[in-house]
Structure 1
Amino acid sequence: MITKLFLLTALSLMVSSQNHGSYGDPESSSKLHTKFPSENVSFIEIGQYSGEVNDWKYKKSYYVSKSFKANWDVAKAICRSFDLELATFETLEEFQNFEKILESTNPFSDIAHVDGITTKLGSFSDWYWTNSGAKIPYSLLWNPTQPDNGKGSEEACLSLQKFQGKYGFNDYFCSKQATVFICQKTQLFHGCF
C-alpha cells in the first residue's frame, strides 16, 4: 500500500511538474474568481453532496470552471490555488447524485477534467484518486468503449464525458485541454453534521 501511494504521489507530481506560480485567493461566495496566466478563471457552484465513508461524514461543494480551458495538471493547480481539489467521488451513490446535478445544470457538453490517473493504460481497474491515493472502485461508470487509451495513445488522466445523454468516465490525455474542469471543496466531520 505504501509503495502504491508513493507511486501515485510520484505520478501526480510528474503530471503536475510544471511551475504555475501563485494564482490568488478564493472569494467567499459561490462564484470564485481570480487571475491565472493573464486570463480570468472563475467557477460556479453547481451543487452539493453529503455522505459517509468509514465513520467519517463529509460534505462536498462542486464547482465548474467557466471560460477557461486547461490541461489536467493546470486544472489541478488552479483548483489548489482556490483551496479546492479536482473532483473525486467516494461512492457510487455520490457519483449518481453528481450525475443528477450535471443533468439538471448541464455545465458542459464535451469533456471535463476530474481527479484520477491510471497506473496501467487502457485498464478498467488500475485507476486512482490522486488526492487520496484510493483506488477508484467502480468500473460500471465508464462510457461505452472506455477506457480505450486513445486507441494506442497515452490517455492516463480521468475525465467526465457526456455520451448519448449520460455522463461517464473517459480516459483522456493529461496534456490536452478540456473545455471545463470540476473542482470540489470537502468538509470532514467525525460523528454527526
Structure 2
Amino acid sequence: MEPYLLVGLLTLVFPLFSPCTCLLDNVGDADLEAIRYRLQDEKEKRLLLENDVETMMLKLAELERLCKKDRNKTEVTPSSQCPFGFVSRANHCYVYVLLEATWIEAQMYCRVFGGSLVSIETPEEWTIIRSYLESVKGQDNIWIDSTDILKEGIWHWTKGNGDQRMIGKAGEGIWASDQPNKYGSREDCGTLMKVSGQYFGNDDFCSNKFHFICEAQ
C-alpha cells in the first residue's frame, strides 16, 4: 500500500475511536459499580419471578393430585354431575383442599377446577358442611366465600350477586356469637373456625394461609 494511502486511512480511523476513549475516560469506578449493582438487581428480580412462577405451577400440580386422591377415597354415584374430584352431598358438590393458600389464592384454585369457595346459604347446607368437615377431619380454620372487602362491615357471598343469606348479620346464621369482630380492623375474609369441636363463621386476615372448601353446582 502506498504510504500516502496508509496515512489517509489512519486519519479517518483514529477519530472513530477517540469518542469511545473519551466516554470510557469519563466513566469512574463509582459509575461502573452502580451499573454492576443495577444489573445484579435486575438479575435477582428475574430469578425471583421465575421462582414464583415455578412455585405456582407446583401448587397447581399438588392441588390436582389432592383432588384425584380425594376422589379415589370417596364413592361417587355414576349419576353424579359433580366436576372431577368433587364429592356429591345432597345435590351439592364439594371438595376439601389440603393445600394451604391465602383467601385470594383459594378462590383462584377453586375456579381453575370449575367451582368457587363454598357459600353456605341455608341451614340445611350448614348442617351438610359441618358433617362433611367432620368426615374429612378439617383443620381449625378453613376459607369460605364470604368477605366484606368491597364495603366494610357488609358481609356477603361473592357469587349470587352479593347474597347475604346466613352471613348478613353478626352473631347470626353461621357466625359465632362474638363474630365478626374485625380484630386489628383488617379481617376482611371469612373462615369456618373450630370452637370446642364445632365449626362457626369467623373473620380473618385475607393473607393468612388455610385449607379451603370448593363448591361446584
Smaller-chain TM-score range?
Answer: 0.5 to 0.7
Aligned positions of 1:1-193 closer than 5 A: 36-39=56-59, 40-41=62-63, 42-43=66-67, 44=70, 47-50=87-90, 59-66=91-98, 68-103=99-134, 105-118=135-148, 119-121=150-152, 123=153, 126-138=154-166, 139-150=172-183, 152-178=184-210, 180-186=211-217
User: Percent of aligned pairs with the same residue?
Assistant: 28
Q: Distance in 2 between matches of 1:163 and 1:120?
A: 27
Q: Distance in 2 between matches of 1:38 and 1:135?
A: 34
Runs of 4+ with >4 A deviation: none
Question: Could you say what secondary structure the match of 2:111 adopts?
Answer: helix
TM-score (structure 2 length as normaliser): 0.57
Gaps of 5+ in 2: 1-52, 75-86, 167-171
Aligned to 2:15: none
Question: Could you say what secondary structure the match of 2:89 adopts?
Answer: strand
Deviation digits for residues 84-103 of structure 1, max 9, x if unmatched? 21111221111112212222
Give the greater-gyration-radius structure (CA). Answer: 2
Q: Distance in 2 between matches of 1:168 and 1:155?
A: 16
Contact 2:192 2:199 in 1 (8 A): yes
RMSD across aligned positions (CA): 2.4
Contact 1:63 1:184 in 2 (8 A): yes
Question: Could you say what secondary structure the match of 1:184 adopts?
Answer: strand
Aligned to 2:40: none
Deviation digits for residues 124-183 of structure 1, max 9, x if unmatched? xx2111022233223232124211112x331111111111111110111111111x1100
Change (3 A) 1:149 1:142: same
The one-letter amino acid paired with 2:142 is A
Higher helix content, 1 or 2: 2
The one-letter amino acid paired with 1:114 is I
TM-score (structure 1 length as normaliser): 0.63
The one-letter amino acid paired with 2:155 is W
How many residues get paired?
Answer: 139
Gaps of 5+ in 1: 1-21, 23-34, 51-58, 187-193
